[in-house]
């Protein structure tokens, strides 16, 4: 098992979906082109149609099957209460831990810390999520949130906060005080662990 995803399971799922043999040319070529979980999760229809025997329809099937496998690792939607960084990790890690670009996600909470909404506020480059406090709090105000938990992934797999991460956290906390919406935490998600800036005394 590679984190939350198992390549062999995905191979079997794709083979069944495409009605191909697990060791057939198409399946083997897909996994030769996309040998790691992050690469397969980010495969596009355009990239897939570059494989002999994969047309547009089959490429759409592949992308859909991979997204389905991804969704099945996420807990069913139900009222969710955030009590600790571990709760945030369990909720979001299946979605963002292995993405190849930084995704900055906000959990908007009620006064009792129920999750009102989850929103991807920004998608950055390979190693940088570009986000401005106004984007975070515009969304928070729209959702009538009492507080917010900010989360982003590190594609490297190492959740150690960078200087930029710490500076951004400080700016978000300051902006939160001004608008009256508390930033409860900023959590960085790695491949198999997380870092809470609040727990680290950086918030």
CA distance 151 to 89: 9
Which CATH number is 85-196 given? 3.40.140.10
pLDDT, mean of residues 12-40? 76
What residue ranges of the chain are covered by domains with CATH 3.40.140.10?
85-196
- The pTM score is 0.62
Nearest to 135 by CA among 123, 153, 127: 123
What's domain 7-72's architecture?
Orthogonal Bundle (1.10)
CA distance 42 to 44: 6
The first and second tokens of residue 93, run together, are 């890690």
Lowest mean pLDDT among 13-27, 50-64, 69-83, 165-179: 69-83
What residue ranges of the chain are covered by domains with CATH 1.10.150?
7-72
CA distance 98 to 43: 13
Residues 6+ away with beta carbon under 8 Å from 6: none
Higher pLDDT, 4 or 8: 8
Query: What is the band of 182 on the pLDDT scale with cuts at 50, 70, 90?
Result: very high
- 76: exposed, middle or buried (C-beta count within 10 Å: 0-12, 13-18, 19+)? exposed
Predicted local confidence at residue 61, as pLDDT: 80
Residue 192 has pLDDT above 60, yes or no: yes
């Amino acid at each position: 098992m590679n984190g939350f995803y198992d390549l062999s399971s995905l191979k079997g799922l794709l083979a069944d979906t495409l009605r191909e043999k697990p060791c057939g040319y198409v399946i083997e070529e897909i996994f030769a082109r996309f040998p790691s979980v992050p690469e397969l999760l980010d495969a596009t229809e355009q990239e897939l149609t570059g494989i002999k025997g994969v047309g547009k329809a089959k490429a759409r099937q592949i992308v859909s099957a991979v997204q389905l496998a991804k969704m099945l690792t996420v807990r069913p939607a139900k009222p969710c209460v955030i009590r600790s960084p571990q709760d945030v990790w369990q909720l979001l890690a299946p979605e963002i831990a292995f993405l190849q670009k930084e995704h900055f996600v906000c959990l908007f909470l009620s006064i009792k810390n129920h999750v009102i909404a989850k929103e991807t506020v920004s998608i950055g480059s390979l190693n940088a999520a570009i986000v401005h406090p106004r984007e975070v709090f515009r969304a928070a105000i729209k959702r009538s949130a009492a507080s917010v938990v900010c989360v982003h992934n590190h594609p490297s797999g190492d959740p150690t906060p960078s200087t930029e991460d710490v500076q951004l956290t400080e700016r978000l906390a300051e902006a939160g005080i001004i608008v009256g919406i508390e930033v409860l935490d900023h959590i960085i998600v790695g491949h198999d662990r997380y870092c809470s800036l609040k727990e680290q005394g950086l918030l």
